[in-house]
Every structure is written in C-alpha cells, then in structure tokens.
A and B are shown apart, each in its own frame.
Chain A
C-alpha cells in the first residue's frame, strides 16, 4: 500500500510538475517581483533603491489615482450589468430560432467579438465622427440638429466607450447564455405551459433561477474584464483629455512607459490587483449564496 502511494505522488509530480514550474516562473515569480518593485524607486528598466511605503503614499494622495479609480468604477457600472442583461435577452431570442437561422444570427452577434480592438476603434471612430459619421444623424435628432463630438465631450465619453465595448464583447456572453439555456430541460416549460403559466412567469420562475449560475459567471468575468479596461479608453482618448478620462491600467501605462517610473507603476498595479481579487471574490460569493436560496 505504502509503495502504491509513493508511486501516486510520483505520477502526480510528473503530471503536475511542468504546470507548477511554468505557473511559478511565468506568474508567481513576476507577481512577487511586482510587489517588491512597488517598494522601490526603480525606473522602467533596471533596479531602484528601497523607499518603503513612499510610492503608496504618493499614489494614494495623487489626484490622478482617485480620478482613475472613479473612472474605472464608472465604466464598470456602465458595462457589467447592462452587458449581462442585454446578452441574456439576445440569447433568449436567438435560442428560439432553430437550425441555420440560429447559426446565422449567432454568427452575426459573435462577429464583432473576433475583431481586434484597433479595428473596433477605427470603425467606431469613423461612425461617430462629428462631420462625416453616420451616428451623428441619430445624435442630431435628439440635439436640435446639432452634432456632438461624442468622445471629445467629457459627459459623453465613458457612455460612448461603454456602448462600443458592449457591442464588441456581447457575442461571447451570448454564447455562454445560449449554452446555459440549452441545458434547461424543455419538459419544465411544457409542464408550465400545461399549467397555463404566462411567458413572464415562465421567465421569472424557470429561466431566471435555472440560468443563474451562468449569470453569476458572466457577471464575474465581465467585472474582471472591465476593471482591467485599457485599450478602448486609451484609443478613444488619444489627442483628448487623457487625464480626465484616465482609467487604472492606463495610469499604470502612463507611469511606466511615458514617465519612466517603474516603482510607482508597480504600486498602482499592486493596488489594482488587490482590488480585483477582493471585488471578484466578494461578488462571486454574493452571487452564489443568492443563487442557492
């Protein structure tokens, strides 16, 4: 028996070892490095002197950090729940279709998701262009015939980028929801229909509770993705008021690559890392416990 167990350990080591090694070298070690660098005044490249908590004090007191936290939070509010609800609605509509029609519509919704962010940015930037963009025809209807520079006016900036982001990433969530909806046994709906349950009642009593685990997953994935928002916000704010629309990852980029302050950039990265862990664990636990009731 003892011998067998030892052989098991060996097998486990052989099978899990390479993963542990790669995980340690490519994830754990850099993460530890990041924490260490955040306590030094290192430039982008090279070592720095140990400065204790000086970077943390400087970052937390700085105007830009609180601005970036606020903007990131605002962006999360604008995208996470709306995107999840819209995806669910689209998925329910698509799942009613059958055969090639479903495949076609699903492909149409999924198509934007495979585009790189640069293409998404250029396409939308042209569509919302103040002089030539076709979205402006809609804007003019609601603004006394006047066009609005949607990404150059602070109040419109985040909502515009949020809409683009939802359009872009919707497809993946729809896919998850369709898979989830397919797992709900049609017999439950048949039974409900026999009992004369209305569609709304079917949704609130059957679909919503049974799809909840997927909803919780989508919400958590969305939360993590949107807390790490950078590309779209950065691209749309190029040439604009970047400080006013700064988000956290962008702030890290600015400190590290534009200002050559590796230590301070690592500090912001550590703070963002902590925020994401705390928020996503909290959210997932909260959603799971709610789902159980």
Chain B
C-alpha cells in the first residue's frame, strides 16, 4: 500500500512537471549582431529570460552579418526550420517579401504585442510594409554620424559654448577644417574605404537627390549629376590627402583612436566601442554629432533594425507561440533604452523622447538626424547583401578612389541597376 502511494505521488509529480514544461514557451531567436551592440542585445535577452522564467524563454543565436545571415534565414524558412523571430534590416523587407521568407504581422498581432503604429515615426512604419501589409516591427534607426576628438578640436578653437563642434557646416568650412588638420602623418578625417558609399549617399541626400522612382527607374534626370558631385567630393578629399585613399575598417577606427585624425565618420554602432575604451581610461574626450550639412539640407544614410516573423513552410505557429513571440517583440521595444546604449536610436517614440534617453551622451547629440534620415529606396534590389549594395561597391567606391572617374562611376551604377529592374 505504501509503495503504491509512493508511486502515485511520483507519477503525479512527473505529470505536474511536464504540464509546467508545456506552459513555458521557448522562442527561437536569430540575430546578426556580433559587435559591441551584440553584447548589449545578449544582456537584454538575459534580462527578459530572468523576468519571464517559467513563462517564456528566448533561445538566442547570433549569426554572421549580411549574406550568410539572410541566405540561411531564407533557406531554413523554406524548409520549415527557421527561427520564431529574427532581426532584419527594414531596407531589405521588399526583397524578403518577394522571396516569401516573411509572415505578415496583422494589426491584431501588433495589439497583442502592446504596440501601435503611432508608437513609431511614419517613415519607419511605411518602411515596414509592402503593398499595405506589415512584415516587420521596427526596433531602431541607425545612421552615419561624425565622431570627433574633443581635445584636438578644443585646441583648434572649434568648440562652441555648448561643447559641441562649430563651424563645420557648409562644404567650404568643412574642407577648410580637413585641410587645417592634415599635416605630416595626421589626416583631416578617416572613414573605411569599402563603406564610402554610405557617405556618398548621405551627401546625395543633402542635395535632395532621388535614387529611385518606380516610373523612371534609378537616378532619373539630373539625379545622376548629384551622384557624380557627391562621389567627386569624396574623391577630392582623397586626392588632396585629407583622408587615406585605401583604409580598411579596423585601421580607420585605429587612426581615430590613436589621435591621427580629429574626425571619424562611421555608423553609430561604434559608439559602444568608444564608450568602452573611454571607461577603461584608454581614450580621450570624444563626442559624436549628426553629419554636418555640406550641401542644401540635412540628410544621413540610415537603415533600421526590425523584428520579423519568418514564414516557416509547413509549420503552423500555435497561437500561444505567436503570442509569446509578439510579447518578446513588445518587451524589447519597451526596453530599448538599453539598446540606445549601443548607439542606436530607439524606433519606439516613447523611449526616444524619454528623459532617460536625453541623458545619454553622445546619443542625444545626434538624435536629431532621425527626422531627416534617408533610407534605401523601396525596391527588391535594395538592402545589405543585395544588388544595390553590390553596385555601390562596384562603381561608387572606385569612383572615390580614382580607379573610375566620378562621372563613369555614377552612370555605370545607374545603367547596371536599371538593367536589373
């Protein structure tokens, strides 16, 4: 009798445990965040997991940025082996939708996540939709910004009363500053050569250029001249020796860190790199601002990290799983102040307009760029690891290094992209 009782006790405990295990949803998560921001994302995931113990657990994996990530996501979703949620670049959404990788996110889904369209900027919302259907929930805006060495600028008398750089607006002023600092083994500015197109696109935007029009194709009318001018500007900086013509990503960072240049242009994702160096006492006083306006209007190249739900072929996502996924997405957005720590601007308005964000430096110094940020055009050719990215490096980068003339570069890029339409 006693042993029977014990058996019943054991089996009911096992049963209770398994019920408990069923109640906990595991959300499989893939991202491509391998840098300083990846560390912060892992911290966020951990925080979520502790807060939701026994309820929802995120099982996160970080994959290689770019082509490897996107091909793996596409192929795994096609055979029903994709994750439950993944990070994605908003610029690449049209391509992803055309290849059937993403599941639609309905208005009801958005509500389940505790979010609404009004929580985001209109630009971000429109970038997350294709033909009126939503396929992504924005998470951040990231852009090209100007990093500066506060000590060097101070010595040169180029800091205003607010402690921010002054006298950099306008092409002439900016080039004068570059010329002034170029001396011996000092350069006026550094930025990675392979990514120069992001700067060209920013200046193209500052001239009010339109890259793509559904009717007239790529760089219609005089837009190709604007592209030429933007390319020629960077080519001139190289030619005058104000910036190294050929410099790889890590070396361009090293140049700024080792005080060989007062300015560095790069994505805001390098903010954690400098913050961490500074906190270890290995860096000077530094800051970052929105790209100075060299032409007619402010504009900076930007893109946006967003969350997507892959369309796993042949796998029906249960209502509980979907609710868990949406809860994860909602929670991440509400906690995106920690993500701003990685240099990104939270897409969620409430966080970006909060006091906590205003206190973040230098993030709040360049947050103004969000209003005039320029994204890739809405076409299936756009996004990282897509034909548009290839065309930039095949034509425009050589156009800035003297391998092609800026005119050749701009027209060849236009013709190549129009051929692929």
Check B403 against A238 for contact (C-beta < 8 Å).
no
Measured CA separation A45–B194 after assembly (Å): 31
Check B75 against A152 for contact (C-beta < 8 Å).
no
> Which of A43, A238, A241 makes the CB contact (< 8 A) with B394?
A241
Check B397 against A243 for contact (C-beta < 8 Å).
no
Check A241 against B398 for contact (C-beta < 8 Å).
yes
Chain B residue with the shortest CB-CB distance to A43: B99
> Which of A44, A149, A153, A240 makes the CB contact (< 8 A) with B99?
A44
Check A241 against B393 for contact (C-beta < 8 Å).
yes
Chain B residue with the shortest CB-CB distance to A150: B246
Number of interface residues of B (CB under 8 A): 32
- Scoring A45, A130, A243 by chain B CB atoms within 10 A of each residue's CB, the highest score goes to A45
A239 and B195 in contact, given A131-B251, A149-B246, A257-B71 (Cβ under 8 angstroms): yes
Measured CA separation A241–B396 after assembly (Å): 10
Check B282 for interface membership: any CB of A closer than 8 A.
Answer: no
Check A102 for interface membership: any CB of B closer than 8 A.
Answer: no
Chain A residue with the shortest CB-CB distance to B385: A258
Measured CA separation A240–B401 after assembly (Å): 11
Check A46 for interface membership: any CB of B closer than 8 A.
Answer: yes
**B71: shortest Cβ distance to chain A, in Å?**
4
Check A44 against B251 for contact (C-beta < 8 Å).
no
Check A244 for interface membership: any CB of B closer than 8 A.
Answer: yes
Check A242 against B394 for contact (C-beta < 8 Å).
yes
Check B247 for interface membership: any CB of A closer than 8 A.
Answer: yes
Check B194 against A238 for contact (C-beta < 8 Å).
yes
Check A44 against B248 for contact (C-beta < 8 Å).
no
Check B193 for interface membership: any CB of A closer than 8 A.
Answer: yes
Check A260 against B390 for contact (C-beta < 8 Å).
no
Measured CA separation A222–B95 after assembly (Å): 39
Check A45 against B394 for contact (C-beta < 8 Å).
no
State the main secondary structure of chain B at its contact with A: helix
Check A45 against B78 for contact (C-beta < 8 Å).
yes
Check A160 for interface membership: any CB of B closer than 8 A.
Answer: no
- Scoring B246, B393, B394 by chain A CB atoms within 10 A of each residue's CB, the highest score goes to B246
Chain B residues contacting A240 (CB-CB under 8 Å) are 194, 393, 397
Check B393 against A258 for contact (C-beta < 8 Å).
no
**B81: shortest Cβ distance to chain A, in Å?**
12
Check A125 for interface membership: any CB of B closer than 8 A.
Answer: yes
Chain B residues contacting A152 (CB-CB under 8 Å) are 193, 246, 401
Check B244 for interface membership: any CB of A closer than 8 A.
Answer: yes
Measured CA separation A183–B244 after assembly (Å): 55
Check B394 against A130 for contact (C-beta < 8 Å).
no
Check A243 against B394 for contact (C-beta < 8 Å).
yes
Chain B residues contacting A225 (CB-CB under 8 Å) are none
Check B255 for interface membership: any CB of A closer than 8 A.
Answer: yes
Check A44 against B75 for contact (C-beta < 8 Å).
yes
**A71: shortest Cβ distance to chain B, in Å?**
14
Check B397 against A259 for contact (C-beta < 8 Å).
no
Check B254 for interface membership: any CB of A closer than 8 A.
Answer: yes
**A230: shortest Cβ distance to chain B, in Å?**
13
Within 33-47 of A, Cβ neighbours of B (below 8 Å) are at: 43-46
State the main secondary structure of chain A at its contact with B: loop
Number of residue pairs A-B, CB distance < 8 angstroms: 73
- Scoring A43, A131, A153 by chain B CB atoms within 10 A of each residue's CB, the highest score goes to A131
Number of interface residues of A (CB under 8 A): 25
Measured CA separation A153–B387 after assembly (Å): 22
Check A258 against B247 for contact (C-beta < 8 Å).
no
**A38: shortest Cβ distance to chain B, in Å?**
19
Check A154 for interface membership: any CB of B closer than 8 A.
Answer: yes
**A43: shortest Cβ distance to chain B, in Å?**
7
**A290: shortest Cβ distance to chain B, in Å?**
42
Chain B residue with the shortest CB-CB distance to A147: B246
Check B179 for interface membership: any CB of A closer than 8 A.
Answer: no
Check A243 against B390 for contact (C-beta < 8 Å).
yes
Measured CA separation A153–B245 after assembly (Å): 11
Check A260 against B251 for contact (C-beta < 8 Å).
no
Chain B residue with the shortest CB-CB distance to A257: B71
**B185: shortest Cβ distance to chain A, in Å?**
10
Check B45 for interface membership: any CB of A closer than 8 A.
Answer: no
Residue-wise, chain A 43-57 has the 8 Å CB interface mask toward B (1 for contact) of: 111100000000000
Measured CA separation A125–B248 after assembly (Å): 10
Within 247-273 of B, Cβ neighbours of A (below 8 Å) are at: 247-249, 251, 254-255
A258 and B67 in contact, given A44-B74, A149-B246, A154-B403 (Cβ under 8 angstroms): yes
- Scoring B71, B75, B98 by chain A CB atoms within 10 A of each residue's CB, the highest score goes to B71
Check B194 against A244 for contact (C-beta < 8 Å).
no
Check B386 for interface membership: any CB of A closer than 8 A.
Answer: yes
Chain A residues contacting B194 (CB-CB under 8 Å) are 238-240
A-B contact pairs, 5 of them (CB 8 A): A45-B78, A130-B244, A152-B246, A153-B246, A241-B403
List 4 tightest A-B contacts by C-beta distance, closest first.
A239-B194, A149-B246, A45-B78, A257-B71
A positions within 8 Å CB-CB of B: 43-46, 125, 129-132, 149, 152-154, 238-244, 254, 257-260
Known A45-B78, A125-B248; further 18 A-B contacts with Cβ < 8 A: A44-B75, A129-B248, A129-B251, A130-B244, A132-B251, A149-B245, A153-B246, A153-B403, A154-B403, A239-B194, A239-B195, A239-B249, A240-B393, A241-B394, A241-B398, A241-B403, A242-B393, A258-B390
